[in-house]
Amino acid sequence: MGWYIAIFLFMALPLSFAYVGYSRKINTYKLVIPIASMVLSFFMSCRAINVEADTKRYVYVFKQISNIRLLDVFKARVYGMRGV
């Protein structure tokens, strides 16, 4: 949870620059976009190797759900993968 709070706090900086630029009618895109990109790139590089290791399970379940009618989604039974 601490990582999400840190990302939120660091992303508040370019957000505040964008807000001040918008309120003063100054184009701040050349400043805000690189700062936001650097913050997100930094936190993406800090991920562990095992992050998203369970993506194939979510894809398997999503494929099952995508074949169900919208009215039947909450009544449907979804099966997980075994041994994965």
Give me the tens of pLDDT residue by residue for the chain, a chain 84 residues long. 787 898 899 999 999 999 999 999 999 888 999 999 999 898 888 776 666 666 777 777 788 788 888 888 788 777 766 654
- Residue 36 and residue 56 in one domain: no
Counting the structural domains of the chain, the total is: 2
Same domain, 57 and 43: no
Q: Are residues 13 and 25 in the same domain?
A: yes
- Contact criterion met (CB below 8 Å) for 14 and 32: yes
pTM for the whole structure: 0.53
Residue 31: give the domain boundaries.
1-47
4 and 39 part of one domain = yes
Residues 31 and 64 in one domain: no
> Do 66 and 26 fall into the same domain?
no
**Residue 68 in tokens:** 């169900």
Element (H, E) at 12: helix 2-23
Q: Do residues 59 and 43 both lie within one domain?
A: no
